[in-house]
Structure 1
């Protein structure tokens, strides 16, 4: 059968098209052959500090150089290869880096503390970050069910032991999510015949991811626990301020100042914890997805991984989620209270402005009345002087006519007064 040659399409690719398509295949599951031991490490900077990716790459290259292994290309986010008798899988994630070291052909005791020595002690001490998760995983061919129960009882704490059939009963997974003396979680995988190397690697990888993402999600619970005292104090102060707003005697300017202070503290808490609480939701989702992908079935009446997560992990996630919602609710309450208080202050200021306008109207009315009074007095005063001037001007007529000065003044005064009044009225109208 012959295949047609691909036809070149004269279309430019988006710069991110090829990298994003390759990202779907960036982290394949390792291919692991039972029996064997796996050591998993996840390293993260302390206190959400910014990651130094160059230092992380240099740390990886130091380990590879000690075994003469090839280097990953610059900017790579994952690498797989042999380190002596072991297989190493390195991955760089958003907040942490992981190392999965696999040694095939387990012959010694399970979960021996010397397993960690496969990573050099000085190399571990120079790590650019702290251990957020680590796990030892023992993979063995599945014996009889009774032997599996006996080994699980020997290796794990019975009170928190989880035991389940996974991948349609192709394997049995055991663990107790307790730290051993060296600070590792322990898991055991009993692989039945026909599981295959790739599916074995898939189970081991998913157990590592469950443990790592569980540990990262629990950082949100720690954040919620640290926020609880401050949130309780802010909630009490906010409730007291809202109650004081109902009193007419409350000094609203001081209340608004205190409310702005509480709002600023809430915003600070939100900024400090917002990323961690949001990331917790994402990590919790990944944990539950990885557990669901195992397709668990109950083994011997023991709890499954999913049941353990529901009973022990889910309450912590609910606490983190409720803290995030409570913080948002308190911020919304403070915002509503601030809006209500500002509305009340605006209403009071409007009432004060109304009273001020009414007072100004009364004063303007009084000023107008006073102005009319002054204008009347002005007419009298001006008329008085105008009559005097008119008598001086008409003085020569007094001798020529048989009219005395008093009669002449009586005849002139009305005309002068009327002329002055009309003149002042005209001037006032022209000014208006």
Structure 2
């Protein structure tokens, strides 16, 4: 029996599920996270430039290069370990080191990325973070004291995650060196894979939070234009009520508004969809951490509810509003089409009435012409009858005038009867 053929992408699709494993980490350790986004849209993004930028970093450390089709990479960079991932809109670099600097969140930790390499990036930094992974102290008061020194208390979000396996904290602010700060106090008994998953999820929360906020910035940009189009459409629809409005002028103005709305919808469709997807990932990553409150302070979900959710609701509201205004534009077009149809129907009725009037006049004219035709035909018929009966008149001695007078009435009656019969036959 011949073996069954595999679908060409079977192994590639299965391998994709296992291509990006979580890192393995144990406290103490340091992680440096960097995400770079090209200014272009995802459809026109040059992914080869991202791969070339990765190769430049690997060449700097003398590390082996990935193949030309790689979308992820994990390898050694001297005393560091690098995890690189290529996403739809951005690439991420996460560098791990199995020790801690003396100074918490030392900006020099970011020096793992050379300055010339950062300057040649094919896009801009959308976010970067320094993560400090430490053994969990014996008392929670020690953690609280460190957090007060490292973070802004007003914005601090801290939580006990995974049934006490770690305490994670961040204020989600950019410090003076340009990075986010994230602290992880891992239980010494925690498995290194579990610690790696915690760190990976924290990086993803920061990444997708920053990426989804791009949609919020877009909404701020298109907001004034959408307001202006909404006002124009409202005034246009209000003007359609008056009998003096000209359908052609209204149609041209409505077409201009519809084109601008469709352009806005096309330009923002990808960003709206991406923002919704990123928000869902943020919510899911926080949920899987199974956080509990730490010493009565706000957790990650509470911080997001107060600071992040309002921005996402603004994006969702703008998306719904754009759909609503576009729907109003469509309904206005339908109303205008109805009005044009009604006006056209009235014009057709006026034309039909005019045609009926002309047909009636034509019928009257036809009857008039018909009477004149009887006279004309009768005249020639009497003349012909006279020529035919003149010999009889000479034979009988009757005068031509008398004979013509005698023939006239029968000839006129006969012609009138024949014309009438012909008209009835035609009708």
TM-score with structure 2 setting the length: 0.96
Q: Distance in 1 between matches of 2:259 and 2:78?
A: 56
Map of 2:131 onto structure 1: 137
Q: Distance in 1 between matches of 2:16 and 2:410?
A: 108
Indicate the SS of the match to 2:128.
Answer: strand
Map of 1:212 onto structure 2: 207
Indicate the SS of the match to 1:110.
Answer: coil
Map of 1:29 onto structure 2: 22
Give CA deviations for 1:23-67 in whole Å, capped at 9, x if unaligned. Answer: 221211111121111111111111536221111111111111222
Q: Distance in 1 between matches of 2:128 and 2:141?
A: 29
Which of 116, 128, 134 lines up with 2:122 in the alignment?
128
Map of 1:5 onto structure 2: none
Map of 1:63 onto structure 2: 57
TM-score with structure 1 setting the length: 0.95
Q: CA deviation at 1:402?
A: 2.9
User: Does residue 361 of structure 2 align to residue 369 of structure 1?
Assistant: no
Map of 1:4 onto structure 2: none
Q: CA deviation at 1:203?
A: 0.9
The correspondence of residues 254-269 of structure 1 with structure 2, limited to 5 A, is 254-269=249-264
Q: Distance in 2 between matches of 1:169 and 1:36?
A: 19
How many matched pairs?
Answer: 425
Q: Distance in 2 between matches of 1:224 and 1:93?
A: 23
Q: CA deviation at 1:13?
A: 2.1
Aligned CA RMSD, in angstroms, stands at 1.7
Which of 330, 349, 359 lines up with 1:354 in the alignment?
349
Q: CA deviation at 1:16?
A: 2.5
Q: Distance in 2 between matches of 1:391 and 1:311?
A: 118
Map of 1:3 onto structure 2: none
Map of 2:329 onto structure 1: 334
- Alignment gaps of 5+ in structure 2: none
Which of 270, 278, 286 lines up with 1:275 in the alignment?
270
Q: Distance in 2 between matches of 1:413 and 1:183?
A: 122
Q: Distance in 1 between matches of 2:96 and 2:371?
A: 113
Map of 2:221 onto structure 1: 226
- Alignment gaps of 5+ in structure 1: 1-7
The correspondence of residues 150-229 of structure 1 with structure 2, limited to 5 A, is 150-229=145-224
Q: Distance in 2 between matches of 1:97 and 1:145?
A: 36
Give CA deviations for 1:172-200 in whole Å, capped at 9, x if unaligned. Answer: 00100000112111100001121121111
Q: Distance in 1 between matches of 2:28 and 2:122?
A: 32
Give CA deviations for 1:276-335 in whole Å, capped at 9, x if unaligned. Answer: 011100000000000111110111111101100011000000000000000000000111
